[in-house]
Amino acid sequence: MASGDSRVVVIGSGVGGSGCAALLAQKGFDVTVLERNSFSGGKAASFEREGFTYDTGVHAIGSGDSGPLGDIAREVGADLKWALIQGGNRIVLGDKVATYPLDYASDESIRAIIDGIGVRPENRDDCYICFKELATMKPASEMEILESTTLKDYVSRFTDDFQFHMMLNAVCGMLIVVTYFTGSAGEFIYCFANMAASASLSYPKGGMGSIARSYLDALVRLGGKVSYDRPVESIIIEDGRVAGVDAGGRIDADIVISNMGLQPTARMVADHLPAEYVDKVLKLRSSYGAVSVKYALDAEVVPYPMTLWIPDVTDQEALDKYVGIMYPVPSIPDPDLAPPGCQLVLAGAVLSADPQQKELNRNVLDRIEATMQMLHPGIEDHVIWKLRTDVEYTSNISGRHLGEVIGISQDYRQVGKNRPSPKMPVAGLYAVGADAGGRGIGTEMAAESALTVSRMVEEYALGR
Domain ranges of the chain: 3-47+62-80+206-284+409-463, 90-198, 288-398
Looking at residue 90, its amino acid is R
Return the DSSP state at 137.
P
C-alpha span between 444 and 22 (Å, rounded): 16
Rounded to 5°, the CA angle 214-216-218 comes to: 70
10-residue averages of pLDDT along the chain (464 residues): 78 97 97 97 96 94 95 98 93 94 94 97 98 96 96 98 96 95 97 95 96 98 97 96 96 97 96 96 95 98 96 86 96 98 97 95 97 97 97 93 92 92 96 88 95 96 82
C-alpha span between 325 and 310 (Å, rounded): 7
For the domain with range 3-47+62-80+206-284+409-463, which CATH number is right: 3.20.20.100, 3.50.50.60, 3.40.50.2300, 3.30.300.30?
Answer: 3.50.50.60
C-alpha span between 368 and 127 (Å, rounded): 30
> So what's the pLDDT on residue 4?
61
The dihedral of CA 321, 324, 330, 332: what is its sign?
positive
Instruction: Give yes or no for a contact between 3 and 26, defined as CB atoms under 8 angstroms apart.
Output: no
**SS3 at position 423:** strand
Instruction: Give yes or no for a contact between 20 and 453, defined as CB atoms under 8 angstroms apart.
Output: yes
Q: What counts of helices (H) and strands (E) characterise the chain?
A: 15, 19
Helix (H) / strand (E) element for 24: namely helix 15-26
Query: What is each CA distance from 375 to 325, 327, 379, in whole angstroms?
Result: 11, 11, 9
> So what's the pLDDT on residue 314?
84
C-alpha span between 389 and 407 (Å, rounded): 18
Question: Which residues on adjacent β-strands are paired with residue 204?
Answer: 82
| CA proximity to 406, closest of 419, 425, 418 | 419
Question: β-strand 96-99 against 90-93: which pairing, if any?
Answer: antiparallel
CB-side neighbour CA atoms (13 Å) of 220: 8
**SS3 at position 450:** helix
> So what's the pLDDT on residue 96?
95
> So what's the pLDDT on residue 313?
84
Which residues lie below 8 Å from residue 37, measured CB to CB, with a gap of 6+?
45, 228, 229, 397
> So what's the pLDDT on residue 148?
96
Buried residues in 285-309 as b, exposed as e (16+ CB within 10 A): ebbbbbbbbbbbbeebbbebbbbbb
| CA proximity to 385, closest of 349, 348, 350, 342 | 342
> So what's the pLDDT on residue 17?
97
C-alpha span between 294 and 328 (Å, rounded): 10
pTM: 0.95
Rounded to 5°, the CA angle 55-446-20 comes to: 105
**Backbone phi and psi for residue 228, each to the nearest 5 degrees, phi listed first:** -95, 165
Looking at residue 382, its amino acid is H
- In order, the DSSP letters of 200-252 are --EEETT-THHHHHHHHHHHHHTT-EEESS----EEEEETTEEEEEESSSEEE
Task: Please write down the HEC assignment for all residues of 148-171.
Answer: CCEHHHHHHCCCCCHHHHHHHHHH
* Strand residue runs (E) in 380-457: 383-389, 429-431
> So what's the pLDDT on residue 87?
86
